[in-house]
Amino acid sequence: MIKVKVREGEPVDRALKRLKKSLKDEGVLDAARQRRYFTPKSEKRKKAKQKAYYAQLMQEYKNQ
């Protein structure tokens, strides 16, 4: 669990900014967004295949 202590004399906005940064670095928000809805394995495989195809396409484009 991520904890952020508000330092003495520090505005709450600043502490929230540090909290958001640490959540982003840990990948907590991304994981929560992905798990918000159920995605079947077939859809995950399809997305992975599309991502690999796009990466290969970009690699070929760079090599030309």
Tell me whether residue 4 is in a domain: no
- What is the mean pLDDT of the segment spanning 3-10? 92
Q: Taking all residues of the chain, what is their mean pLDDT, rounded to a whole number?
A: 94
Tell me whether residue 20 is in a domain: yes
Q: Rounded to two decimals, what is the model's pTM?
A: 0.56
Domain boundaries, position 52: 12-63
Tell me whether residue 7 is in a domain: no
Q: Give the number of residues written for the chain.
A: 64
Q: How far apart are alpha carbons 23 and 19 in whole angstroms?
A: 6
In this prediction, residue 5 carries a pLDDT of 92
Q: How many domains does the chain have?
A: 1
- What DSSP line would sit under 1-64, residue for residue? ----PPPTT--HHHHHHHHHHHHHHHTHHHHHHHTTS---HHHHHHHHHHHHHHHHHHHHHHH-
Report whether pLDDT(41) > 90: yes
Query: pLDDT confidence of 64, banded at 50, 70, 90?
Result: confident
Tell me whether residue 33 is in a domain: yes
Tell me whether residue 58 is in a domain: yes
- Residue 48: which residues within 8 A CB-CB, separation 6 or more? none
Tell me whether residue 59 is in a domain: yes
Query: pLDDT confidence of 36, banded at 50, 70, 90?
Result: very high
